[in-house]
Amino acid sequence: MAEKLQNLVVVTPARVVFTDEVRMVSARSVAGDLGILPDHAPLITTLKTDVVRIQKDGRWRHMAVSNGFMEAKNNRVVILADAAEMAEEIDSDRARRAKERAEERLRSKASEIDLVRAEAALLRAMARLKAIDMAGSGRH
């Protein structure tokens, strides 16, 4: 029997990043890791800037998601995020440079606003690098 699927849509203000039928969505919410399988109870949550994993036909795909929200309802999962990219879309050099830049800024004692911004940038870069790493190693 074919496995039961659910619809996943990932949207950012700039574009629709992902839309397809999937088996499982695994994400890190502010309260902990969540795995959403079909027929999940209605849920709304805030996501951490981290990797969201998607499983379909036994294969995992990885996606870096920044400042997201996730809603699950009627076998439809919607992720709203400031930014999101599939692992294969991420420019690893750029992410690495962004990470170094953010770390540099955190070390220098900048103003409070800059620190908040640098921290957010660091989290984003780390999520991107993690997505590439996980996709590359086949780990999930």
Binding footprint of another protein on the chain (CB under 8 A): 9, 11-16, 29-32, 34, 41-46, 69, 71, 73, 78, 80, 82
Cβ contact 134:87 at 8 Å = yes
State the minimum distance, in angstroms, from the CB of residue 19 to another protein.
9
Measured in degrees and rounded to the nearest 5, phi and psi for residue 137 equal -85, -10
Query: Toward another protein, which CB reaches closer, 29 or 92?
Result: 29
Between 16 and 110, name the residue whose CB sits nearer to another protein.
16
Least distance (Å) from another protein to the CB of residue 44? Answer: 6
- How far is 137 from 67, CA to CA, in rounded Å? 25
Contact in structure between 4 and 39 (CB atoms under 8 Å):
yes
Residue 137's contacts (CB-CB under 8 Å, 6 or more residues apart) are none
Find the shortest distance in angstroms from Cβ 3 to another protein.
24
Q: For residues 83 and 68, is the Cβ–Cβ distance under 8 A?
A: no
Smallest separation (angstroms) from another protein to the CB of 120: 11
Q: How far is the CB of 34 from another protein (least distance, A)?
A: 7
Query: Quick one: 36 or 90, whose CB is closer to another protein?
Result: 36
Chain centroid to Cα 126, Å, comes to 11
Residue 53, token pair as written in the block: 């994993």
Residue closer to another protein (CB basis): 121 or 126: 121
- Tokens 């496995």 appear where? 3
Identify which of residues 2 and 31 has a Cβ nearer to another protein in the complex. 31
